[in-house]
A and B are shown apart, each in its own frame.
Chain A
């Protein structure tokens, strides 16, 4: 990849906001999945969120209340898919 005189690829910087939007969307989707089902993949979702450099997502989705919410499942949700391991 060709970098400019300042050591970076200009277009990559301009593309960053879009990537950040994608990450925000993915994290929300992962949380939805965790509410719906507790399995190996959704537990991996939680671990990956925890390891992200941007700790905002861990704060939002892995805090005590959010985790309780995923564990308890939604009152009107598909409980058969939210059983705790």
Chain B
């Protein structure tokens, strides 16, 4: 049966190839055999096992190896064919589409999406988990240790060859474990928590990098139910910053005590009751609560942990009550550590709720980290380019759907060239 490439859904393997692949990869039947009593006991307890079983195990192993060898041949041919069909890709980018244009340039292109740009975008997506979390789960499963070190990379550096820059972190288990996978659950969970926190911090950093949230919030806040969905996470984020146990590795991201981000510096706590992060979050709240017609907003649905007076709004920035001189900041900034259980009395805000990205950056170390990592902008650019290519591919498919001369039959080529 021929395969009409115009009907291929993304990510699904055509039935013919899947069948061929399945024949080669009868995983269940083949993977089981090394675990069978015959296979293992043939070596360790040969007295209990007939020689014929050992011979059968050897045959099974040889059969597996041959199957995998043939399978790799098939994949290589598919890859070669794919390269031939896509290598001349050149999708011009509309100069008015500045977002996409910037994404392409960030990935090393100029004003069109070439295959090199697309491959870079794909590599960024593929490497994103390792570069972000500095850990590869497959390595973890194989050798019991997946810690990865490497340099900070620009978007255009993250190609398919980027892994050449990776190194297994020295000292993270120097020898091969006796068991393929060691029970390191607690350690892995701790690392996971750390990495999760680090990821959250990077997300916060992204706030002032491109300030997309305010626009996103305004867009979302048009729909009343969406406001609650957006508002509650903002409060949760604030509470998270107050509750997490900060470690040295997290300070390197902000180079400022997280409590100061929330409450301002201790020496200025009465004058500058709130830190820049607090201001930013409160500005988001202000946009959310004040820039939307009040009639659409049922306050019973959402009880903000900080009250905002929307009656005094200037340029979209709500003004707050002034802190009386000599009076300590209440609520969130109630102690030197900025840690407070919340509760009643949280109604005092800094005098200026409006904050720019420059304000937020002030005092924050923006130098590029030395360790393995990339800008979150890379991921955004890569996603944008891939979506653009897929969208273009689908559009081209639709335009050509009724033109029989443009039908491309991948199945025929696979069958003819590879005998599948």
Is there a chain B Cβ closer than 8 Å to A48's Cβ? Answer: yes
Interface residues on B, range: 35 or more
The segment out of B136-144, B258-266, B356-364 that lies at the interface is: B136-144
A22 and B85 form a contact (CB under 8 A)? no
Taken together as a complex, chains A and B put the C-alpha atoms of A32 and B396 apart, in Å, by 41
B5 and A9 form a contact (CB under 8 A)? yes
Residues of A within 8 A of B71 (CB): 26, 29
B389 and A65 form a contact (CB under 8 A)? no
Further pairs besides A5-B396, A10-B408, A41-B69: 9, Cβ < 8 Å? A10-B396, A22-B21, A29-B68, A36-B64, A65-B143, A72-B176, A77-B34, A78-B42, A81-B58
Residues of B within 8 A of A23 (CB): 75, 79
- Number of chain A residues close to chain B: CB under 8 A: 62
Taken together as a complex, chains A and B put the C-alpha atoms of A29 and B280 apart, in Å, by 50
Main secondary structure of the interface of B (DSSP, over half): helix
Across the interface, name the chain B residue whose C-beta is closest to A9. Answer: B85
Taken together as a complex, chains A and B put the C-alpha atoms of A15 and B83 apart, in Å, by 11
Residues of B within 8 A of A7 (CB): 88-90
Residues of A within 8 A of B44 (CB): 76, 79
Residues of A within 8 A of B58 (CB): 80-81
The segment out of B99-107, B157-165, B193-201, B229-237 that lies at the interface is: B157-165
Residue in contact with A10 in the complex, picked from B57, B92, B393, CB distance below 8 Å: B393
Residues of B within 8 A of A2 (CB): 405-408
Encode B399-411 as 1/0 by CB contact (under 8 A) with A: 0100001111010
A26 and B13 form a contact (CB under 8 A)? no
A10 to chain B, nearest CB (A): 4
5 tightest A-B contacts by CB?
A11-B5, A12-B85, A7-B88, A10-B393, A59-B163
Taken together as a complex, chains A and B put the C-alpha atoms of A21 and B57 apart, in Å, by 29
Encode A1-29 as 1/0 by CB contact (under 8 A) with B: 11111111111111111111111011011
Residues of A within 8 A of B66 (CB): 41
Contacts A26-B71, A30-B68, A55-B163 given: A11-B180 contact, CB under 8 Å? no
Taken together as a complex, chains A and B put the C-alpha atoms of A15 and B17 apart, in Å, by 11
Contacts A15-B5, A29-B25 given: A77-B145 contact, CB under 8 Å? no
